[in-house]
Amino acid sequence: MLSQRISLSLALAAGFLGLASCNKGGGDFQKTKSGIEYKIFKKVGNKYEPREVAVTGDPTYKERIGKIMGLHIEYRTAKDSVLMSSRVQRMGIPAPFPLDSVQQKGAEAEAFAMLQPGDSAVFKFNADTLAMKNSGRPAPPFIKKQGNTITMLVKAEKVQTRDEAMADQQKQMMDAQVKMQAHAKEQLKKDDVILQEYIKKNNLTAERDTSGVYYVITQRGSGAKPSTGQTVSVQYRGTLLNGKEFDSSAKGNGGKPIEFPLGVGQVIPGWDKGIALLPKGTKAVLLIPSSLAYGQRGAGADIPADAPLRFDVELVDVKQQ
């Protein structure tokens, strides 16, 4: 979990637009020959109105082949739990999707081929069918437990040439990065207040690293501190500050410590900073500000945006280079 996990092997990182209400209105779903149920809407003034699309597809699609469509997408389970959101994952930047001849029916490509720029849509897929087409495996049990349906909400922003899309994506990414850095700087100040209050409330004796990570050594080891590039072995339990556990080596790694090279970005920055402070054999509590964890994106359903985190860790081993 320390590096971002993705639950489904789908074609895109996913996202949302505010179309949930359209899922409940606008008439009955239509259905393609491949089994995709759909409702497509166009925006007229401040309202969405249904746009009819033949089950054989949009005849104007051939004019868009070879271009890139920018999309906001969100995947939901049958019980409306959000699986992935491109607005969250991509900081509000539309995901680029190449528009080619549709070879695989019944999956996302066929659905996107029905859309024109400005459209919003709701698509429903059989979860097993969609998973098999994308990964060759049935849908994971946690999805099927909620019902064997995946709903995809889509907003088609614009269609561009590949060069236009690449230039646009680069500009948007640069703008988003600047905004994200400014947000992280301000959030670090807020998180520091929250962490100090947490330390006081829980009677902890903590030290603060210059990065903003607080650490509490509960059992000091006798070994040396690890250096950048060395492979470390760590047992851990991660919780929100309210005590809710979101991950642990006991559950996520079969009870075995996880191993990773320190300081090369394979884990969240707060771990690279915090583990480097501990001698081999040390048990400690790491209190990590959100900007050194999962930031304003959060991570899945368990870690909200801008959430400072607590990790109870043990530096089990440090392998020599």
CATH at residue 139:
3.10.50.40
Residue ranges for the chain with pLDDT beneath 50:
1-26
Query: Residue 195 corresponds to which amino acid?
Result: L
- Do 155 and 190 lie in one domain? The reply is no
- Do 96 and 138 lie in one domain? The reply is yes
Q: Residues near 48 by Cβ (< 8 Å), separated by ≥ 6?
A: 19, 22, 26, 41, 42, 120
What is the total count of domains within the chain?
A: 2
Q: What pLDDT is stored for residue 194 in this prediction?
A: 96
In a domain, 14, yes or no: no
Closest alpha carbon to 310 in 249, 247, 258, 241: 241
Structure-token pair, residue 28: 């009955």
Q: pLDDT tens for residues 66-96?
A: 999 999 999 999 998 888 888 877 878 899 9
- Do 155 and 263 lie in one domain? The reply is no
In a domain, 141, yes or no: yes
Please identify, among 117, 142, 160, the residue that sits at the C-terminal boundary of a domain. 160
Report CA-CA distances (Å) from 100 to 64, 103, 110, 195.
8, 9, 10, 50
pTM: 0.61
Please identify, among 115, 143, 160, the residue that sits at the C-terminal boundary of a domain. 160
Centre a 10 Å sphere on the Cβ of residue 265 and count the other Cβ atoms it contains: 10
Query: Residue 263 corresponds to which amino acid?
Result: G
- Do 155 and 266 lie in one domain? The reply is no
DSSP string, 8-21: S--SS-----S-HH
Dihedral angle computed from the Cα positions of residues 310, 16, 97 and 31, in that order, rounded to the nearest 10 degrees: 130
Euclidean distance between CA atoms 63 and 67, whole angstroms: 9
Residue-number span of the structural domain to which 237 is assigned: 186-319
Euclidean distance between CA atoms 3 and 123, whole angstroms: 30
In a domain, 294, yes or no: yes
Q: What pLDDT is stored for residue 123 in this prediction?
A: 96
Q: Which residues pair with 318 in a beta bridge?
A: 232
In a domain, 177, yes or no: no
